[in-house]
Amino acid sequence: MANPNWTKGTSGNPSGRPPKHRALTEILRKRGSRRVLCADGKQRPGNNVVADALWELVTTGSAELFDGESVKDIAVGAKGWFEIVKWLYSQIDGPPKGEIDLTSGGQSFFDLPEWQRKRNERLESLKDE
């Protein structure tokens, strides 16, 4: 029996699902927009400083970071560099899509005449037993 409080064809939630709060994303966005002091004495948005250092690290294997008093050199080995590049690409393109090919030479496994024939033969032999 239908619920008398519901109207057919009308959503019970007309406003839709509330948006997800992405706490870390929001915190990083706010922090990244703050200006930070750079080695050249200029202030720049933190997200630009991080992006520049990351790009420098990926393209050269090392980067310079300013801690407010002195410049620190950071260098990574081949393994570290590969992990950083892998992480960077996962952020740009997202993870690779896993695909399973359920075909044999372009023909679906479920449409193979031989498969159907063998199945039918097996079913017939079971009927006779």
Note down pLDDT in tens along the chain; length 129 residues.
566 677 777 777 777 777 777 787 888 889 889 999 998 999 999 999 999 999 999 999 999 988 888 999 999 999 999 999 988 888 887 766 776 666 666 666 555 567 677 877 888 888 766
Residue 110 included in any domain: no
Residue 109 included in any domain: no
Prediction pTM value:
0.53
| AA letter at 67 | D
Residues 6 or more apart whose Cβ sits within 8 Å of residue 35: 43, 44, 45, 46
Residue 75 included in any domain: yes
Residue 31 included in any domain: yes
65-to-16, 29, 43, 83, 87 alpha-carbon distances in Å:
45, 20, 14, 20, 20
Helices 23-33 & 46-60 angle (0-180, nearest 10): 100
- What local confidence, expressed as pLDDT, does residue 68 receive? 84
Residue 111 included in any domain: no
Cβ 58 vs Cβ 81: under 8 Å: yes
Domain extent for 71:
23-93
**How many domains, in total, are found in the chain?**
1
